[in-house]
């Protein structure tokens, strides 16, 4: 027998008895816990520690810690399985996101001062992102939607890195390689620090001459990473994420098979986040509209098969999207549901019918007892909703 904390209990384990709890629940029958919902019930009942029989576990092994290889997780578990709840993971995810911002700011200062950037902390952060994604990808995915209008350069690279990691996990790519992909994505726009502010932050359409200046950022990114000692796919992502399948991209004009799978992935994720981002001079686009624009770019610019997988991966209404339900309740998508993508969990807090804030309620649209359904994505300004305040009060720990 083996005693483990409730946080280590996974579907498929055989529960022998309760050894520590805050309540008085009694397990009448020993047996297997087969679903995450069953585990959550034990946690909610105050169970802190349980005794399991490892020999009866239905999974291949009882991990002492997080596996280090994606291939291990993909083979032994459903890649969508959530080891932690969104609430459990959000604090760790927010800490990682804040660390990423601090690291980006330091890198910008180093480049301006003529110093090489230290790659090691970026690779370590990328590894932390992936650990979080494999515990519960919804937490970091939600943070990619918490945008500040004046922090695009910082947040865009972080968001692309997170989404790239989620995408790569969905495709079953080895975790060590995913870390390299997310490292490259974290730094893919680092060259923009050398772009003049009047071009980089111009609110209107760039002139032809200005666009030629803007296109140089990809070359600068590649150069900066190579001078800092980075090689391989991470550098490819930084230098070639604006290449297009028809050869009309930049800076090299590569086309077709000259563009690797990983660069094709990065180009999709980069454009998706740019389209949905809130800018000082431009409102972010709803995800479903961004998907349409990307679809219109297939097969000339983007890989259609990969785009379909990306949409499957993050959902038609991704975590963090503000939506209206058929009941006229308004809330945020907080948990994805890959089995039924149009039935995620929504945290409602506003009534469109009555025009006022309501008590916060978690609604699992996939629950058979739920009569509500998802109607459409909406913009906060439609109801004068202060999303930032809601994030701080109801989402972030």
Provide the 10 A C-beta neighbour count for residue 376.
Answer: 11
What are 290's two structure tokens? Answer: 């961004």
pTM exceeds 0.85: no
d(CA 244, CA 254): 7
The per-residue pLDDT for range 332-366, each reduced to its tens digit, is: 999 988 778 889 999 999 999 999 999 999 999 99
The superfamily CATH assigns to domain 86-314 is: Hypothetical protein af1432 (1.10.3210.10)
Q: How far apart are CA 191 and CA 200, in angstroms?
A: 11
Q: What are residue 297's DSSP bridge partners? A: none
| Averaged pLDDT, 76-100 | 79
Query: pLDDT tens, 60-87?
Result: 333 333 333 333 333 334 444 567 788 8
pLDDT tens readout for residues 154-175: 899 999 999 999 999 999 998 8
Each domain of the chain, given as residue ranges in start order, spans: 2-65, 86-314, 322-395
Cα distance between residue 116 and residue 134, in whole Å: 31
């Amino acid at each position: 027998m083996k005693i483990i904390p409730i946080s280590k209990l996974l579907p498929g384990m055989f529960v022998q008895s309760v050894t520590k709890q805050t309540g008085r629940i009694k397990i009448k029958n020993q047996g297997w816990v087969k679903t995450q919902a069953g585990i959550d019930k034990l946690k909610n009942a105050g169970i802190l520690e349980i005794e399991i029989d490892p020999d009866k576990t239905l999974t291949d092994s009882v991990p002492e810690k997080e596996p280090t290889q994606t291939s291990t997780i993909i083979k032994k578990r459903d890649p969508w399985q959530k080891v932690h709840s969104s609430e459990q993971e959000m604090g760790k995810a927010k800490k990682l996101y804040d660390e990423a911002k601090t690291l980006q700011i330091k890198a910008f200062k180093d480049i301006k001062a003529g110093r090489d950037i230290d790659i090691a902390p970026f690779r370590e952060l990328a590894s932390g992102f992936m650990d979080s994604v494999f515990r519960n990808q919804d937490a970091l995915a939600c943070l990619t939607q918490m945008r500040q209008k004046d922090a695009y350069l910082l947040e865009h690279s972080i968001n692309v890195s997170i989404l790239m990691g989620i995408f790569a996990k969905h495709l079953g790519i080895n975790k060590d390689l995913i870390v390299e992909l997310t490292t490259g994505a974290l730094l893919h726009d680092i060259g923009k620090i050398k772009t003049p502010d009047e071009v980089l932050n111009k609110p209107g359409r760039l002139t032809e001459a200005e666009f030629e200046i803007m296109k140089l950022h990809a070359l600068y990114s590649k150069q900066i990473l190579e001078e800092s000692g980075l090689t391989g796919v991470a550098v490819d992502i930084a230098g070639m994420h604006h290449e297009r399948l028809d050869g009309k991209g930049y800076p090299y004009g590569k086309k077709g098979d000259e563009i690797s799978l990983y660069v094709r992935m990065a180009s999709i994720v980069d454009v998706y986040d740019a389209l949905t981002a809130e800018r000082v001079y431009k409102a972010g686009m709803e995800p479903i509209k961004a998907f349409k624009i990307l679809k219109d770019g297939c097969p000339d610019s983007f890989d259609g098969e990969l785009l379909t997988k990306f949409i499957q991966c993050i959902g038609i209404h991704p975590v963090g999207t503000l939506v209206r339900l058929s009941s006229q309740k308004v809330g945020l998508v907080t948990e994805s549901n890959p089995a039924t993508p149009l039935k995620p969990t929504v945290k409602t807090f506003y009534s469109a019918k009555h025009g006022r804030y309501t008590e916060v309620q978690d609604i699992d649209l996939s629950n058979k007892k739920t009569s509500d359904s998802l109607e459409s994505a909406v913009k906060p300004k439609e109801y004068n909703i202060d999303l930032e305040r809601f994030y701080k009060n109801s989402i972030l720990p």
